Amino acid sequence: MITDLNRQLARIFREMSAMYTYIGNAERFRALAYQHAAQAISGLTQDVTRYVESGTLEDIPGIGEHTADKIKEYIHTGKIEKYEVLKKSVPLELLDMIDIRGFGPQSLKAIHENLHAQTQEEVISLLVDGSIAKLKGFGKAKVDNMLRGLKLHKVVEERMLLWDALRYGEKVKSRLMSIPQIIHIELAGSLRRKKETIGDIDVLVSCKLEDRKKMLTAFTTSTDVKTRLASGLSKASILLKETNRQVDLRVVNEEEWGAALLYFTGSKEHNIHLRTIAKDRGLKVNEYGVFRMSDDKRLGGKTEQEVYELLGFQWIPPEMREDTGELELSERKKIPELIQLNDIRGDLHIHSNSSDGLNSVEELARYVLENRRYEYIALTDHSKSERIAGGMDEAGFLKQVQEIRAVTKKLGKDVVKSGAEVDILSDGSLDLTNELLSQLDWICASIHSGFTKDITERIIQACENPFVCCIGHPTGRLIGKREACKVDWKRVFKAAKETGTALEINAQPERMDVNDALAHEAKNAGVKLVIGTDSHATAHFDYMELGVFIAQRAWCTSSDILNSGSWNDIVQFRKYKRKRMGYLNNKIAF
Ligand code: DGT
Ligand code: CA
Ligand code: CA
Ligand code: ZN
């Protein structure tokens, strides 16, 4: 749970970090300290005031004496003096661009100082009209890179990440629940289908005809509404204050609920296809119900189940409604039993403070034992090439294995497994020796640099290593920031299947990697998938839900997802691969 205060503080610290980065090298330690503090706060599972009250603020990994003082200052006075001062000395609005590819602090500084740009719009027009290309250090490749960065960024400017939209959606929903006239509420549209990005939030409610006016007034005049865009008696649209994002609310009568929910859930393509099939059967379906065409008699529409059944179909989970063959399956009553969050028995991608995570081994173990029903988690800290992320060498990993053993003994519970997220280097070799890899429980191999170089070959080479269990975030994309690598997926799937290597569904909100379409192809190619949260703090364990949504949109059942199995299943998976690749046990010479 991330509270409002935590979110505000994390945002301020992120901005302070960006401002110090902008100021330059002399302030790089401050920039880093505020970045860690921002991460620490967004990783908290309780409101930060709880730590202040109990005097344990500085015990939070990532919070130091100075950042702790700033937190207290904000709680007591509602602002941070240093932040206000900094804001006056740097063009804060420009700093919003720091995360866009090609717009690092040095570039922004040069643009600000030489061309006096103050706003994002000014920077963009200076880029487009060629003024920036004339600056020293801004060659053609650099400017092209900036233009591509802007194009990528457009996606997140115009659409929301699913993770953010889910939170806004839940807020809107819970507020609507307090309006007494409403009978049913459901989030609809792409949010209900769990698409990876969301254009606007659609909400459907049912209420009595005579209550509509009161209900709609309550909705459009609520405190979190910034602007009312439109309102009638059956719908209203508003912009949310917090995010400037649109919410479309539709109101229907209770007996129309199912037909309307189906209609407003979409996708449009699914609906159109469904209507065409219905027509062939002499039936008409719209947002009000199902009707017989010959005499317009209404046959039903109170529940989605009823609508689908009247048309000759099995109910279809919203995540599958993209018109990619689900109607054909449903007609044959062959809709799979999709994997559910409850099926997940462990998380195999976790970072501890041995590399760039926030929590110690013991903290992670205690957190899981107290808060999750997991049977296992695997620590997959970075390997030595990832210097900025605190990557470890072989000796570091061996030390961590000892630490895990000690924690297991102390807590009397064997929940933390050893592992590594080992870098796939630019020549396709791995960043850690086989001798070490063979001693760890779970190996995830990932590409973190050299994204343009022979990705297909490098992934295949990693699959061929007997100790690699899984390829992490296989496409490397970051939504809005970095494109997916160009990879010959057919060859990768073949190698993964033949070697017994899994592919990861990385559940970080910006990654969602592999995505739904690729996960679906991988599943069809017989490749096992693993959902990993890539957690760097305990709050990130919640991302598992996102990974499950991707798997559902890929039509996966629990048998497609390795970590819906027990730890013994994972061990068997690992054994199978080692055997296949010619290693029968760990007792081999290297
Ligand atoms: P988004 O907002 O771009 O992420 O995508 P959606 O799918 O939420 O699209 P949106 O908000 O325009 O409309 C919500 C749902 O309403 C959509 O999924 C299906 C339904 N819908 C909207 N326009 C049409 C239409 O012209 N025909 C049909 N059959 N359904 C529509
Ligand atoms: Ca929508
Ligand atoms: Ca809409
Ligand atoms: Zn990674």
Ligand 1 pocket: which of 156, 187, 190, 201 to mutate (most atoms <8 Å of CB)?
190
Q: Ligand 2 center to residue 532 CA distance, Å? A: 27
Q: Report the pLDDT averaged over residues 210-236.
A: 89
CATH code for the domain of 144: 1.10.150.110
Q: Ligand 4 center to residue 54 CA distance, Å? A: 35
Here the tokens at position 112 are 């600000």
Q: How many CA atoms lie within 13 A of 118 on its CB side?
A: 3
Does the predicted TM-score (pTM) go above 0.85?
yes
| Pair (208, 169) in one structural domain | yes
Q: Which atom of ligand 1 is nearest to the CA of 271?
A: 29
Instruction: Kindly report, residue by residue over 335-377, the tens digit of the pLDDT.
Output: 999 999 999 999 999 999 998 888 999 999 999 999 999 999 9
What pLDDT shows up at residue 469?
Answer: 98
Angle ∠(421,425,431) on CA atoms, nearest 5: 50
The whole-chain average pLDDT of the chain stands at 93
What pLDDT shows up at residue 384?
Answer: 94
What is the separation of C-alpha 23 from the centre of its chain, rounded to a whole number of angstroms?
31
CATH code for the domain of 182: 3.30.460.10
Here the tokens at position 459 are 């992934």
The DSSP symbol for 540 reads G
Distance in angstroms (rounded) separating the CA atoms of residues 175 and 163: 19
Q: Which atom of ligand 1 is nearest to the CA of 248?
A: 11
* Residue with CA nearest ligand 1 atom 20: 264
| Pair (316, 428) in one structural domain | no
Q: Report the pLDDT averaged over residues 509-536.
A: 97
| Pair (544, 574) in one structural domain | yes
Q: Which residues contact 289 (CB under 8 A, 6 or more apart)?
A: 255, 256, 259, 298, 299, 300, 301, 307
Q: Which residues contact 38 (CB under 8 A, 6 or more apart)?
A: 9, 10, 11, 13, 14, 17
In this structure, the strands spanning 376-379 and 416-417 are parallel
Query: Is the confidence at residue 422, as pLDDT, over 90?
Result: yes
Nearest to 545 by CA among 505, 514, 518, 517: 505
Q: Which atom of ligand 1 is nearest to the CA of 193?
A: 7
Q: Report the pLDDT averaged over residues 298-321.
A: 97
Residue 466's φ and ψ, nearest 5 degrees, are -65, -20
Distance in angstroms (rounded) separating the CA atoms of residues 589 and 575: 17
Cβ 590 vs Cβ 435: under 8 Å? yes
State how many domains the chain has.
4
* Residue with CA nearest ligand 1 atom 27: 268
Distance in angstroms (rounded) separating the CA atoms of residues 446 and 475: 10
Strands in 69-192 per DSSP E: 160-161, 182-188
Query: Is the confidence at residue 589, as pLDDT, over 50?
Result: no
* Residue with CA nearest ligand 1 atom 23: 268
| Pair (318, 353) in one structural domain | no
Query: Which residues have C-beta atoms less than 6 Å from ligand 1?
Result: 189-190, 195, 198-200, 202, 263-264, 266-268, 271-272
What pLDDT shows up at residue 585?
Answer: 57
Instruction: Kindly report, residue by residue over 379-413, the tens digit of the pLDDT.
Output: 999 999 988 778 999 999 999 999 999 999 999 99
Please return the burial class of 25, using the count of CB atoms within 10 Å of its CB with bins 0-12, 13-18 and 19+. Answer: exposed
Please return the burial class of 421, using the count of CB atoms within 10 Å of its CB with bins 0-12, 13-18 and 19+. Answer: buried
Among 76-85, 219-228, 333-342, the least confident range: 219-228
Residue 409's φ and ψ, nearest 5 degrees, are -65, -45
Here the tokens at position 368 are 């899981």
Among 219-233, 252-266, 356-370, 479-493, the least confident range: 219-233
* Residue with CA nearest ligand 1 atom 13: 189
Q: Report the pLDDT averaged over residues 432-444.
A: 97
| Pair (135, 180) in one structural domain | no
Length of the chain: 590
Please indicate, yes or no, if residue 363 is contained in any of the structural domains.
yes
The pLDDT > 90 percentage for the chain reads 75
| Pair (97, 129) in one structural domain | yes
Please indicate, yes or no, if residue 588 is contained in any of the structural domains.
no
Q: Which atom of ligand 1 is nearest to the CA of 267?
A: 18
* Residue with CA nearest ligand 1 atom 22: 268
| Pair (18, 101) in one structural domain | yes
Q: Report the pLDDT averaged over residues 84-111.
A: 86
Facing residues of 416 across strands?
A: 377
Instruction: Kindly report, residue by residue over 245-303, the tens digit of the pLDDT.
Output: 999 999 999 999 999 999 999 999 999 999 999 999 999 999 999 999 999 999 999 99
**CA distances to 94, 129, 530 from 151, in Å:** 17, 16, 31
Ligand 1 pocket: which of 271, 316, 321 to mutate (most atoms <8 Å of CB)?
271
Distance in angstroms (rounded) separating the CA atoms of residues 203 and 171: 12
Please indicate, yes or no, if residue 336 is contained in any of the structural domains.
no
Q: Ligand 1 center to residue 481 CA distance, Å? A: 26
- Domain-ending residue, one of 331, 358, 388: 331
Backbone dihedral region for residue 500 (phi beyond 0: left; psi -120 to 50: alpha; all else: beta): left
CATH code for the domain of 466: 3.20.20.140
| Location of structure tokens 């509602």 | 78
What pLDDT shows up at residue 43?
Answer: 80
Please indicate, yes or no, if residue 590 is contained in any of the structural domains.
no
| Pair (377, 497) in one structural domain | yes
| Location of structure tokens 């509509």 | 212
Ligand 1 pocket: which of 250, 267, 268 to mutate (most atoms <8 Å of CB)?
268
Please indicate, yes or no, if residue 322 is contained in any of the structural domains.
yes
Distance in angstroms (rounded) separating the CA atoms of residues 4 and 378: 31
Facing residues of 470 across strands?
A: 444, 502
| Pair (450, 502) in one structural domain | yes
Distance in angstroms (rounded) separating the CA atoms of residues 344 and 348: 11
- Assign 326 a pLDDT band (cuts: 50, 70, 90): very high
Q: How many CA atoms lie within 13 A of 383 on its CB side?
A: 24
* Residue with CA nearest ligand 1 atom 26: 268
Helix 120-128 and helix 140-158, axial crossing angle in degrees, nearest 10: 140
In this structure, the strands spanning 182-188 and 201-207 are antiparallel
Please indicate, yes or no, if residue 175 is contained in any of the structural domains.
yes
Q: Report the pLDDT averaged over residues 547-554.
A: 98
| Pair (280, 370) in one structural domain | no
Q: Ligand 1 center to residue 268 CA distance, Å? A: 5
Query: Is the confidence at residue 478, as pLDDT, over 90?
Result: yes
Query: Is the confidence at residue 586, as pLDDT, over 70?
Result: no
Q: Ligand 4 center to residue 473 CA distance, Å? A: 7
- Assign 492 a pLDDT band (cuts: 50, 70, 90): very high
Please indicate, yes or no, if residue 48 is contained in any of the structural domains.
yes
- Domain-ending residue, one of 270, 303, 331: 331
Nearest to 473 by CA among 338, 349, 346, 341: 349
| Pair (316, 450) in one structural domain | no
Ligand having the closest approach to the CA of 199:
1
Ligand having the closest approach to the CA of 273:
1
Domain of 288? 259-331
- The protein residues having their C-beta less than 5 angstroms from ligand 4 (an ion) are 446
Alpha helix (H) residue ranges in 425-488:
434-437, 455-463
Coil/strand/helix, residue 370? helix
Among 154-158, 225-229, 330-334, 340-344, the least confident range: 154-158
Q: Report the pLDDT averaged over residues 488-492.
A: 97
- Domain-ending residue, one of 305, 331, 357: 331
Distance in angstroms (rounded) separating the CA atoms of residues 578 and 556: 26
Cβ 348 vs Cβ 442: under 8 Å? yes
Q: Ligand 2 center to residue 405 CA distance, Å? A: 49
Q: Ligand 1 center to residue 189 CA distance, Å? A: 6
| Pair (432, 557) in one structural domain | yes
CATH code for the domain of 308: 3.30.210.10
Distance in angstroms (rounded) separating the CA atoms of residues 498 and 519: 17
Please indicate, yes or no, if residue 587 is contained in any of the structural domains.
no
Q: Which atom of ligand 1 is nearest to the CA of 265?
A: 18
Cβ 496 vs Cβ 487: under 8 Å? no
